[in-house]
Structure 1
Amino acid sequence: MSVEKESVFIHPTADVSSQATIGEGTKIWHQAQIMPGARIGGNCKIGKGVYVDSGVSIGDNVKIQNYVSVYKGVTVEDDVLLGPHMTFTNDLYPRAFVNEYTVYETLIKKGVAIGANATIVCGVTLHEYCMISAGAVVLSDVPSYALVVGNPGRVVGYVCKCGGRLEVEKLPKQGIQSKTTSCLKCGKGYEFQLGLIPVL
């Protein structure tokens, strides 16, 4: 195992491959399994029963809560929260009797938060700071700062970096080109251009 500093904590019941890379300050808890070739950045928290597949890349300051499996093809950038029991799929057409499948890349960008028991179907991108509510099923790409709920998942609003809700009405296709708003929780200001993309 490649460990960048001695500050890494690995629980005695965790199974961490000697061919995995673990960043400084990371903590890996009970019964986690980290496969060969996995890369976990610094200051991460890997919860009980987490599985990280070969070739997976996880950024810095990531929290993976209990019983999450991160399969081959998933990339997790910095500052991401993966809530307990959330699920990444790794096969669009699963059959028990078929031994071959295509790996579809799934990208979880900086600052994303995924709630407990949510499902992320493979092949999508979750853009910066979006928030996926508990139990949501994500079938397609999610815009930056979007709040997604339900099955199938749908955008119902937008959130600040701090997680607070932004009060933004849907902009028309023509006419108003932008709108400003601020977070009700922390006061941070945002400008939304046509299509509800935050411009900081």
Structure 2
Amino acid sequence: MIEILMVDDHAIFRSGLRRLLSDEPDMRIVAEAGNGREALERLRNRPFGVVLLDVSMAGGSGLDTLRRIHAEWPSQPVVMLSMYPEEQYAAIALDAGANGYVSKDRDAAQLIDAIRIAASGGFHLPAGLRPGHRPAVPHAAHARLTEREWQILRLIVAGVSLTEIGRRLCLSVKTVSTYRSRLLGKLAIVSNAELVRYCIEHGIDD
């Protein structure tokens, strides 16, 4: 039996995934956490067959949590779940210690396969990506962006104002402006128009 720790800040999503996996005879969710801190607490009490970890959570980055898990429990299998495209985040998650990366818009069968593969110590990755190999996209400057900077980048490119971004992410406008300045600096550009052009040139879209 593969015993799973589910880490996601949306209770409805956790409930739906718990029902989905209950149909599988060889796996079950035995513990849940709503953020990275709770996930680490669960892991300090006991190991799990697989940790399902959301990339984007309120109150902390899933990638940061992944790095902490990998540092404290190097052999703990982790499968990352995300709404972000695989070609932009999978290699980064792998480098941080994940055994797999599955976009939330994929078929449930892919997630189930990823769990079984990770539990056996293997790697479930998008086509064309293998352990130790990174595709061209993650070598670009945007591979250095944090999860929060990615969120703000996408909203800016979508035409959302800094004030509205702050409202959606529960951040002050000043904080959003600081993140914007950091991501522009990392990409060596100076304006929103250049940011849009950068995303087009690098195939960054939703």
Q: Name the TM-score, length of structure 1 as normaliser.
A: 0.28
Q: Per chain length, whose mean CA-contact separation is higher, i.e. which structure has more relative contact order (CA < 8 Å, sep 6+)?
A: 2
Q: Which protein has the bigger strand share?
A: 1
Computing the radius of gyration over CA atoms, which structure comes out larger, 1 or 2? 1
Q: Which protein has the bigger helix share?
A: 2
Q: Name the TM-score, length of structure 2 as normaliser.
A: 0.28
